[in-house]
Amino acid sequence: METSVVDVPERGRFEIRLGDRVVGLASYHVEDGTMALPHTEVDPSMGGRGIGSALVAGVLAAARERGVTVLPYCSFVRHYIEQHPEVLDLVAEADRPQFGLATADH
């Protein structure tokens, strides 16, 4: 069954769905061109299937489409960004030290 990442702005979150079942979510708040990402969670029964990574990839793709930077307060999002340097540019260079993320000149 196919997963899809869906923005649910009235609930302040993205959901990842397996068919019509919500199996994970990432809460967010956008202000002044920045998307704060404080929390993600995935249904424990879905662990180890890449659901969390697919969710974060979808959220970061949406951030890129919207032209906003991200504040990865959630440790899972930070870890994803560390593992996928091609998305590091979504975190403003000035914000990277706060999250322990390398800047472009390191």
Which domain CATH number covers 47? 3.40.630.30
When divided into structural domains, the chain yields a total of 1
Q: Say what the pLDDT of residue 81 is.
A: 97
Tell whether 106 is covered by a domain.
no
In Å, what is the CA distance from 35 to each residue of 1, 38, 98?
30, 10, 15
Ranges of beta strands (E only) in 1-106 are: 3-8, 13-18, 21-31, 34-42, 69-71
Tell whether 104 is covered by a domain.
no
Average pLDDT over residues 15-19: 96
What is the domain range of residue 92? Answer: 3-99
SS3 29: strand
pLDDT tier, 99 (very low <50, low <70, confident <90, very high otherwise) = very high
Tell whether 75 is covered by a domain.
yes
* 69-71: strand order across its sheet: 3-8, 13-18, 21-31, 34-42, 69-71
Tell whether 105 is covered by a domain.
no
pTM of the shown model? 0.93
Tell whether 79 is covered by a domain.
yes
Tell whether 46 is covered by a domain.
yes
SS3 16: strand
